[in-house]
């Protein structure tokens, strides 16, 4: 039968039923209110007719797609297995006869526990010279059980039968918890979740069909086990270091510096191993930077100093000192740098440092010049260009940068000033400033007052001509890696120090790998290509015969900045809702 014939048949049936109901309605009109029922019935049939008339039978009605699914492991009782008395995880035998065994530290309370191998556990109720009475652990409502077992030497007798349900995995679950707690104590840096999941995966691999314990319950039990390990995090700077220092391995904590004034109290803690101090003493250039994201309370920032270890042409930057600081004033940095100098000057030895690279923080620079008068402070080129980008956004120069090619050319040359020789920076800048007007002149005034004529950051302290290491981003990279390892920003004081100690212990291995000529530090292709072009330009400027001028060098450096800094320039434009086009 065709679809059209079915369609007409359905219409005839609905119409016939509707007419019959209408006739019934007229017949019953005189009987109270029962006439309403056929009216509703008629409306129902008429709605069906309207629906049929609205259907287009030229198309097939779609059939719901039925996907084949993979069934999960079913939660089912586990068959009782034979018992191996040599294994800690004992179960019942095939005939359900009790197989008694005692674990010294089991369950959540870590007390001596008796297991019968058929799904019950017991704790010591009382002891005397001849026997021990064991009581069922299910002695709380609603499954209060009065069962108990008497022990005489190695003989166990069930005195009162159980009224509580059995748990055939109770001994296995207790073993998982005991192992997880032991791992948490031996490895305090590991999270409770990671420890529990590792032990559960081991048990799951043994028999995937067995039911697993409640993971969240195990995690909470392990967390409670770890909590008494360390003291609570201090809420202010007036804490006693001894209770925290007892949790730190010997030979890592170095100084506890307190600065008391009428307005406030500041405190700074210095940490380093002997090996780290030896590397810091030998290094000719230090790299310093601070971070606030992973700093434990009540301190304000983590300040770190890194150095490069080298073997031939290979190099790797490593942390050599970690300082927890509660403030970042000049007096804070002076006290910290003086303590570092004292640590390095023991036994009559003096540090060999000649340069100290850092970001553009006036208090840090002034303290460096005061404590290390023979050391040249060097500004990080990354932080320098970032300050340029921020000022371009602030004064509203970004729209002109997008629309005007001359503005783009001038900005790129200004962003490349730090790659010129220090004695050429002021001359080239003055030529650019003389031709500037409007917002570009305002931008030049910012550079002039902040970096050209500055007594704190003059050009000779941030020129990176012929320098391959131009930033302290490796310090920031280490802080970012630590942030990923440490997890939340609310890391405790002891946990943070232990994590830094763990990083310090990896340095000798890093040095060994470097001595085996294993490249531990690789530049991406963009950085390698930029460095290659920079080296060629600097060589062209420095050659004896027919060198390029400083003006030509700056123009070429501007083009290089445009080629290899597209991401920063794109971010600069998009911050103002503009698209990059050149």
pLDDT digits (tens, 9 = 90+) for 243-254: 888 888 889 999
Domain boundaries, the chain: 3-54, 101-168, 172-229, 231-380+471-515, 382-470+522-574
Q: For residue range 164-181, what is the model confidence (pLDDT) as tens digits?
A: 888 777 778 888 888 888
* 185 vs 135, higher pLDDT: 135
Q: What is the pLDDT of residue 72?
A: 42
Q: How far is CA 348 from each of CA 277, 342, 355, rounded to the nearest angstrom?
A: 14, 10, 21
Q: What is the residue whose two structure tokens read 């008494």?
A: 228
Find all residues with CB under 8 Å of 125, minimum gap 6, and list them. Answer: 133, 134, 135, 148
For domain 101-168, the CATH architecture is Single Sheet (2.20)
Q: What is the mean pLDDT of residues 205-224?
A: 82
Find all residues with CB under 8 Å of 389, minimum gap 6, and list them. Answer: 568, 571, 572
Calpha distance 364→329 (Å, rounded):
8
Calpha distance 382→287 (Å, rounded):
13
**How deeply is 204 buried, as exposed, middle or buried, from its count of CB atoms within 10 A (0-12, 13-18, 19+)?**
middle
* 443 vs 203, higher pLDDT: 443
Q: What is the pLDDT of residue 52?
A: 46
Calpha distance 492→499 (Å, rounded):
11
Q: What's the pTM value of the predicted model, to 2 decimals? A: 0.64
Q: What is the mean pLDDT of residues 189-207?
A: 82
Calpha distance 162→360 (Å, rounded):
74
Minimum mean pLDDT range among 39-53, 235-249, 450-464 = 39-53
Find all residues with CB under 8 Å of 208, minimum gap 6, and list them. Answer: 73
Q: What is the pLDDT of residue 173?
A: 81
Q: How does residue 58 score in pLDDT terms, banded at 50, 70 and 90?
A: very low
Q: What is the pLDDT of residue 111?
A: 77
What is the rounded (10 degree) CA torsion for 154, 158, 163, 165?
30
Q: What is the residue whose two structure tokens read 């630590």?
A: 482
Q: What is the pLDDT of residue 92?
A: 41
Is the pLDDT at 522 greater than 70, yes or no? no
Inter-residue contact 170 to 123 (CB < 8 Å): no
Q: What is the mean pLDDT of residues 309-315?
A: 78
Edge-to-edge strands, sheet with 265-271: 253-260, 265-271, 314-325, 301-311, 285-291, 355-358, 376-379
Q: What is the pLDDT of residue 530?
A: 79
Q: How far is CA 194 from each of CA 152, 188, 190, 219, 487, rounded to the nearest angstrom?
A: 42, 11, 7, 9, 13
User: Which two structure tokens, joined as six digits, stand for 149?
Assistant: 């077992």
Q: Which residues of 111-128 are buried (b: 16+ CB within 10 A; e: fewer)?
A: eebbbbbbbbbbbeeeee
**What share of the chain has pLDDT > 90, as a percent?**
21
Q: What is the pLDDT of residue 160?
A: 86
Q: For residue range 324-372, what is the model confidence (pLDDT) as tens digits?
A: 999 999 999 999 999 999 999 887 788 999 999 998 999 999 999 999 9
Query: What mean pLDDT, rounded, does the chain reach?
Result: 77
User: Which two structure tokens, joined as six digits, stand for 273?
Assistant: 């191993």
**How deeply is 572 buried, as exposed, middle or buried, from its count of CB atoms within 10 A (0-12, 13-18, 19+)?**
buried
The Cα diameter of the chain in Å comes to 123
Inter-residue contact 434 to 442 (CB < 8 Å): no
Q: For residue range 490-499, what is the model confidence (pLDDT) as tens digits?
A: 678 888 888 8
* 580 vs 307, higher pLDDT: 307
């Amino acid at each position: 039968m065709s679809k059209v014939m079915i369609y007409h048949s359905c219409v005839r049936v609905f119409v016939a039923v509707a007419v019959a109901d209408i006739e019934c309605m007229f017949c019953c009109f005189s009987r109270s209110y029962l006439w309403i029922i056929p009216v509703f019935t008629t409306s129902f049939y008429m709605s069906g007719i309207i629906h049929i008339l609205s259907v287009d039978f030229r198309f097939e009605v779609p059939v719901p797609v039925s996907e084949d699914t993979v069934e999960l492991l079913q939660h089912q009782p586990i068959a009782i297995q034979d018992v191996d008395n040599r294994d800690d995880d004992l179960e019942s035998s095939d005939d359900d006869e009790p197989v008694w065994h005692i674990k010294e530290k089991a369950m959540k309370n870590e007390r001596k526990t008796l297991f019968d191998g058929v799904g019950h556990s017991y704790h010591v109720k009382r002891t005397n010279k001849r026997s021990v009475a064991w009581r069922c652990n299910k002695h709380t409502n609603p499954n209060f059980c009065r069962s108990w077992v008497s022990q005489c030497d190695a003989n166990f007798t069930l005195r009162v039968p159980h009224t509580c349900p059995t748990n055939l995995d109770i001994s296995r679950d207790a073993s998982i918890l005991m192992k997880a707690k032991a791992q948490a104590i031996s490895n305090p840096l590991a999270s409770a979740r990671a420890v529990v999941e590792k032990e559960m995966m081991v048990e799951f691999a043994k028999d995937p069909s067995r039911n697993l314990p409640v993971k969240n319950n195990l995690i909470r039990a392990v967390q409670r086990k770890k909590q008494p390990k360390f003291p609570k995090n201090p809420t202010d700077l007036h804490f006693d270091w001894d209770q925290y220092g007892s949790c730190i391995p010997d030979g890592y904590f170095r100084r506890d510096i307190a600065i008391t004034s009428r307005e406030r109290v500041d405190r700074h803690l210095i940490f380093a191993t002997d090996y780290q101090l030896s590397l810091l003493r030998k290094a000719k250039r230090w790299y310093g930077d601070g971070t606030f994201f992973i700093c434990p309370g009540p301190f304000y920032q983590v300040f770190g100093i890194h150095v490069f270890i080298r073997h031939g042409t290979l190099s790797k930057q490593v942390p050599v000192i970690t300082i927890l600081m509660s403030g970042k004033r000049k007096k804070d940095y002076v006290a910290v740098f003086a303590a570092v100098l004292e640590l390095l000057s023991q036994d009559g030895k003096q540090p060999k440092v000649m340069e100290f690279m850092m970001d553009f923080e006036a208090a840090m620079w002034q303290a460096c010049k005061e404590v290390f008068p023979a050391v040249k402070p060097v500004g990080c080129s990354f932080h320098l260009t970032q300050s340029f980008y921020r000022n371009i956004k602030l004064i509203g120069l970004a729209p002109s940068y997008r629309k005007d090619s001359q503005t783009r050319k001038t900005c790129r040359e200004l962003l490349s000033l730090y790659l010129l020789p220090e004695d050429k920076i002021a001359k080239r800048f003055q030529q650019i400033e003389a031709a500037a007007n409007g917002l570009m002149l305002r931008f030049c005034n910012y550079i002039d007052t902040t970096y050209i004529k500055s007594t704190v950051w003059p050009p000779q302290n941030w020129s990176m001509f012929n320098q391959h290491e131009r930033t302290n981003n490796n310090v920031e990279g280490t802080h970012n890696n630590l942030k990923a390892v440490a997890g939340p920003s609310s890391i405790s004081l002891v946990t943070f120090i232990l994590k830094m100690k763990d990083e310090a212990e990896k340095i000798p291995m890093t040095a060994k790998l470097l001595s085996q000529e294993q490249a531990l530090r690789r530049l991406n292709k963009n950085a390698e290509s930029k460095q290659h072009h920079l080296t060629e330009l600097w060589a062209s400027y420095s050659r004896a015969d027919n060198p390029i001028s400083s003006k030509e060098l700056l123009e070429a450096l501007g083009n290089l900045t445009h080629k290899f800094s597209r991401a920063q320039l794109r971010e600069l434009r998009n911050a103002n809702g503009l698209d990059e086009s050149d």
